[in-house]
Amino acid sequence: MSLNKNYQVDVVNTIPTGLRPPAMPDFSLLSSVIPDAFAVAIVGFSMDISLAKIFALKHGYSVDGNQELIALGLSNFFGSFFQTFAVTSSMSRSLVQESTGGKTQISGLVASLIVLLVIVAIGFVFEPLPQTVLAAIIMVNLLGMFRQFRDIPTLWKTSKIELVIWLATTQSPKTSILGHVPNTGLYYDVDEYEEASEYEGIKIFSSNSSIYFANSDLYVSTLMEKTGVNPEKLKAAQRARKKRKEKLKKKESSPLTVSATYKDEAVIHEVLPQSSEAGEGLNGQLEDKHSSETTSEVAVFLEPLSDVHSIVLDWTTTSFIDSVGAKAIKQIIREYAAVDVRVVVASCNRSTLADLDRLQFFSENLTPHLFFPTIHDAVLHCQQANSSPAGAANNLT
């Protein structure tokens, strides 16, 4: 059935097959394409990092802008030898892949292989496909993006500045780790004041800027860098420790087997784990050694994942926080709680606290009890909570 000839339906039409052979770029065009190349690079990177942040916020992970820029640079560098178009992220394809459940690099690899297969061999199969079908696929997967327009009335009611904050320029805030000055209630930058000293197991992070969409990622990454506590690395260590613990359980539950061979006969003795009643048997030395090894391994599991058990966020100079910033702070609190690191906020003014309430920041597990009027109050709370038996981080998973 020829839709194009009989019904004048726009179809995909001819799809060129094959790949161009690799060749050196024509450097004689360099002077004429440099201005456009810079513009394309900036727009392409902006699209890529914006889309990456959307998915990172939705699925709860962080994005490294430098890594994204290096990846785009390498892709365009190698692509230039095959005369490809400028490489950047595709909103439609990314949303289609995300909506169908693709989460790892394997999904991207499979999609690339399918595109390669279409280009090399089976492109003719899609030539009679109506363009409206492709448009429908894209529109269905863009519905989630269009639904965000429903947030505009909410943002207008909660914070009008969020609708025009794109006019503001990105600033480079000053951040520091604070320490306590003895015999006072003062806390200063430990790098600038020799008398200021940190409390054991507590990091006090201070930033002199507000938290909004343009710098929320920078705030979170600087927080992890300054405190030296990265939730992702701690989760990896937690998973490795869990595997070791499972191996230890299997080792304890399985009986020991001693085998001795005399000529053509095999004698196998099964040695069960030593019970509390048979404390001193013939295999006492063996059991003592096994017990000591087990005890040492168990002690490793009981050790905390990090020397830092609490982080205090100093919001003395934080006068504004938008919905993106609130989501970023909420996410990082949950990530730290998952690795037994408590996060509390100090010196938050009433207007910012009211903004958080309007942005639905608080929940059943994340309550205003995490906010303290001064840094010293927050520090005393962390010390008391850590010294008590239930001194684990808040259950915010």
* Per-residue pLDDT tens digits for 26-46: 888 888 888 888 888 888 888
| Buried-state track 314-341, b at ≥16 Cβ within 10 A, e below 16 | bbbebebbbbbbbbbbbbbbbbbbbbbb
- In this prediction, residue 120 carries a pLDDT of 84
Which of 1, 58, 41 lies closest to 331, judged by CA?
A: 58
Which of 312, 308, 307 lies closest to 377, judged by CA?
A: 312
Three-class SS string for 171-207?
A: CCCCEEEEEECCCCCCEEECCCCCCCECCCCEEEEEE
Average pLDDT, the chain: 78
- In which band, very low, low, confident or very high, does the pLDDT at 284 lie, cut at 50, 70 and 90? very low
- In this prediction, residue 1 carries a pLDDT of 60
What average pLDDT does the segment 135-158 reach? 66
- In this prediction, residue 386 carries a pLDDT of 86
pLDDT surpasses 80 at 96: no
Q: How far is CA 130 from CA 15, 96, 241, in A?
A: 13, 18, 54
What average pLDDT does the segment 327-349 reach? 92
Higher pLDDT, 354 or 295: 354
Higher pLDDT, 234 or 266: 234
Higher pLDDT, 369 or 119: 369
Return contacts of 292-296, CB within 8 angstroms, 24+ apart: 294/248, 294/251, 294/252
C-alpha to C-alpha distance for 115 and 108, rounded to whole angstroms:
11
- In this prediction, residue 152 carries a pLDDT of 61
Higher pLDDT, 202 or 293: 202
Q: Are strands 371-372 and 187-189 parallel, antiparallel or unpaired?
A: unpaired
- In this prediction, residue 175 carries a pLDDT of 92
- In which band, very low, low, confident or very high, does the pLDDT at 205 lie, cut at 50, 70 and 90? very high
- In this prediction, residue 150 carries a pLDDT of 66
- In this prediction, residue 229 carries a pLDDT of 92
C-alpha to C-alpha distance for 306 and 338, rounded to whole angstroms:
12
* Domains by residue range for the chain, with CATH: 3-149 (no CATH), 175-229+306-387 (3.30.750.24), 233-275+283-302 (no CATH)
- In this prediction, residue 300 carries a pLDDT of 52
What average pLDDT does the segment 339-367 reach? 91
Sheet hosting strand 342-346, strand order edge to edge: 187-189, 175-180, 202-207, 310-314, 342-346, 371-372
pLDDT surpasses 70 at 181: yes
- In which band, very low, low, confident or very high, does the pLDDT at 10 lie, cut at 50, 70 and 90? confident
- Cα dihedral across residues 253, 254, 260, 266: positive or negative: positive
- In this prediction, residue 226 carries a pLDDT of 93
- In which band, very low, low, confident or very high, does the pLDDT at 155 lie, cut at 50, 70 and 90? low
What average pLDDT does the segment 119-138 reach? 83
**pTM for the model:** 0.56
Higher pLDDT, 305 or 359: 359
- In this prediction, residue 171 carries a pLDDT of 53
Q: Which of 73-82, 170-179, 195-204 has the lowest mean pLDDT?
A: 170-179
- In this prediction, residue 61 carries a pLDDT of 76
- In this prediction, residue 161 carries a pLDDT of 58
Q: Which of 129-133, 231-235, 297-301 has the lowest mean pLDDT?
A: 297-301
- In this prediction, residue 380 carries a pLDDT of 94
C-alpha to C-alpha distance for 39 and 46, rounded to whole angstroms:
11
pLDDT surpasses 70 at 98: yes
